[in-house]
């Protein structure tokens, strides 16, 4: 099972990938949205803000946050690490229920291109 530190490193890697993105990927990362990622197996949530291709103000909170983010993800820590490292397809994980997303359809399609 992935640790909180490994999951935080995966989010940091995703942030680095977003910051270095160009073209269509950069456009997908451009929206200004609140973001949360609840890790069900660790019962912890990373919250932050996606803006200008960067994930900013990342905080770790126990459980689920009281206020839902505009893009809210739920998955296991292992799945987060696998997604960011390219070992798990976002589309397959989403279709099988391993990753749950609460967001507008447009944001889901953008997210798919980022992961």
* CATH code of residue 19: 3.30.1050.10
Domain count, the chain: 1
pLDDT score at 22 = 53
Q: In what order do the strands lie in the sheet with 71-75?
A: 54-62, 44-51, 33-39, 71-75, 100-102
- The domain containing residue 54 runs over which residues? 4-114
39 close to 7: Cβ distance less than 8 angstroms: yes
Region 64-86 average pLDDT: 91
What percent of the chain has pLDDT above 70?
Answer: 80
**86-104 confidence digits (pLDDT tens):** 899 888 998 999 999 888 8
- Exposure letters 48-71 (e unless 16+ CB within 10 A, then b): bbbbebebeeeeeeeeebeeebbb
The span from the CA of 5 to the CA of 3, in Å, is 5
Q: Is the pTM for the entire model greater than 0.75?
A: yes
């Amino acid at each position: 099972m992935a640790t909180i530190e490994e999951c935080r490193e995966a989010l940091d890697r995703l942030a680095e990938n977003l910051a270095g993105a160009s073209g269509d990927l950069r456009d997908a990362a451009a929206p200004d949205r609140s973001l949360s990622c609840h890790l069900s197996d660790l019962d912890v949530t990373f919250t932050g803000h996606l803006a200008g291709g960067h994930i900013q103000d990342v905080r770790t909170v126990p459980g689920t946050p009281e206020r839902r983010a505009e893009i809210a993800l739920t998955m296991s820590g292992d799945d987060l690490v696998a997604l960011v490292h390219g070992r798990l397809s976002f589309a397959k994980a989403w279709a099988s229920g391993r990753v749950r997303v609460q967001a507008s359809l447009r944001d889901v399609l953008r997210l798919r291109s980022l992961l």
